[in-house]
Amino acid sequence: MALQNICPDLILSSLAFRAQLTADNLANKIGYKNRIHYMEELYLVRPETIMNILSLQDDQHKSIFLIGHNPELTEFANILIKDNFSKLPTLGILAINLDINNWNEVTDTQGEIDFFIYPKQFRYYVPKQIRNTLG
């Protein structure tokens, strides 16, 4: 993501310790400089609650990262996209494009998958450009 200059306007993370570590490390690697919002409301909640949280966000944010837990995030992804997404693995990143102008317009099955990456993709071969960003 750092190679593609992918950086959100806002990161919302579960308050759980591992989620916080993930959010902090990801923010550091991609150069995110804004405040990370750690939310108890993202810890082990129904996908509908995640939808409500997303719909309440300020429209100045054009891209938002959600860092949370399974199976809730996988279920939430399947609410947002038309295709069936089997499982978001640990540290997996699923980018979904939404055709909306305001966050309160978020509804089910309107998103399209932009990209999906996960650590095991790089188990045997890590491209040099990515190796260099890992430090």
How large a percentage of the chain has pLDDT more than 90? 73
Greater confidence (121 vs 70) lies with 70
- Quote the pLDDT of residue 121: 80
Q: Is the pLDDT reported for residue 54 higher than 80?
A: yes
Per residue in 76-129, pLDDT (tens digit) is 999 999 888 889 998 999 999 999 999 999 988 789 999 999 888 877 666 777
Angle at 19 between CA 57 and CA 65, to 5 degrees: 35
Residue 14 lies in a domain: yes
Q: Answer yes or no: pTM beyond 0.95.
A: no
Residue 2: inside a domain, yes or no? Answer: no
Measure Cα distances from 14 to 17, 38, 43, 119 in Å. Answer: 8, 6, 5, 20
Q: Is residue 104 part of a domain?
A: yes
13: nearest Cα among 32, 1, 5, 3: 32
Q: What is the CATH number of the domain that holds 14?
A: 3.40.50.1240
Tell me whether residue 3 is in a domain: no
134 vs 56, more confident: 56
The verdict on residue 5 lying in a domain is: no
Number of domain units in the chain:
1
Domain annotation covers residue 26: yes
**In one letter, which amino acid is 60?**
Q
Q: Work out the average pLDDT over 47-62.
A: 95
Domain-located, residue 107 = yes
Read off the pLDDT of residues 19-49 as tens digits, 9 standing for 90 and up.
Answer: 999 999 999 999 999 999 999 999 989 999 9
Residue 111 lies in a domain: yes
- In the 3-class helix/strand/coil scheme, how is the chain assigned residue by residue? CCCCCCCCCEEEEECCHHHHHHHHHHHHHHCCCCCEEEEHHHCCCCHHHHHHHHHCCCCCCCCEEEECCCCHHHHHHHHHECCCCCCCCCCCEEEEEECCCCHHHCCCCCEEEEEEECHHHHCCCCCHHHHHHHC
Please tell me the predicted confidence (pLDDT) of residue 56: 96
Domain that holds residue 77: 10-134
